[in-house]
Amino acid sequence: MVEYNIIVVGTSAGGVEALTYLVKHLPPNLNAAVIIVLHVSSHSTSILPKILSRAGKLPVSHAQDGEAIVHGWIYVAPPDHHLLVEQGYLRLTRGATENRCRPAIDPLFRSAARTYGQRVIAVLLTGLLDDGTAGLLAVKMRGGVAIVQNPDDAMYPNMPRNAIDNVEDIVSFLPILN
């Protein structure tokens, strides 16, 4: 049996509400790290760790470059940095924008797939356009699990719908009521 111990989550428009719901339902003894990208303006200040800390029982912080990955912890991409997964630690970069965003979802998903393969669960939530679809495909190609929010439950269904239309064998839908 595969042990899934890296959970990567990507979202955009409507994402704060969806992430709050998701984090609220994570068990306090989760034997995995949760790594999140929410599209935010490069010039904004992110208070997402504070919001998610109040919503659930797991500790939450902005990821730091070179920080060790710890199970039972939630890491959030800071504004204007892509968040990547390396073997045992996190990497922040200021590479080119992808899907007009930095942070973007696809770099996180691709790096997790490349590093942890079948041990990855990738979750794509509400948002516009198609960021996350290529990353979900990379996760599936490396034997990981791809989950999307039910587009009917998403505040903005484009990202989950695009993934469903373009990635085979998305295992389940994550119902989140907004």
The pLDDT tens digits of the residues spanning 125-141 come to 999 999 999 999 999 99
% helix / strand / coil in the chain, to the nearest 5? 30, 25, 45
* pLDDT tens-digit readout, 39-53: 998 888 899 999 999
Q: Out of 12, 81, 106, 111, which one is annotated catalytic? A: 12
Q: Which residue among the candidates 81, 82, 106, 131 is catalytic per the annotation?
A: 131
Stretch 65-85: mean pLDDT:
98
Among this protein's residues, is 39 annotated catalytic? yes
Fold of 6-174: Rossmann fold (3.40.50)
Q: What is the mean pLDDT of the chain?
A: 94
pLDDT digits 0-9 by tens, 79-100? 999 999 999 999 999 999 999 9
**What angle do helix axes 133-141 and 158-166 make, rounded to 10 degrees?**
40
Domain boundaries, the chain: 6-174
Q: Which of 122, 127, 165, 161 is nearest to 141 (CA)?
A: 122
Residue 127's pLDDT is 97
Q: Percentage of residues in the chain with pLDDT exceeding 70?
A: 96
User: Does 12 qualify as catalytic in the annotation?
Assistant: yes
Torsion of CA 73, 76, 81, 84, to 10 degrees: 40
The answer to whether residue 131 is catalytic is yes
Give me 148's structure tokens: 């999307």
pLDDT for 178 equals 47
Tell me the C-alpha distance between 99 and 78, whole Å: 17
Catalytic residue among 25, 39, 111, 169: 39
pTM: 0.96
**Each residue of 110-129: pLDDT tens digit?**
999 999 999 999 999 999 99
Q: How far is CA 72 from CA 30, 32, 84, 154, in A?
A: 5, 6, 18, 26
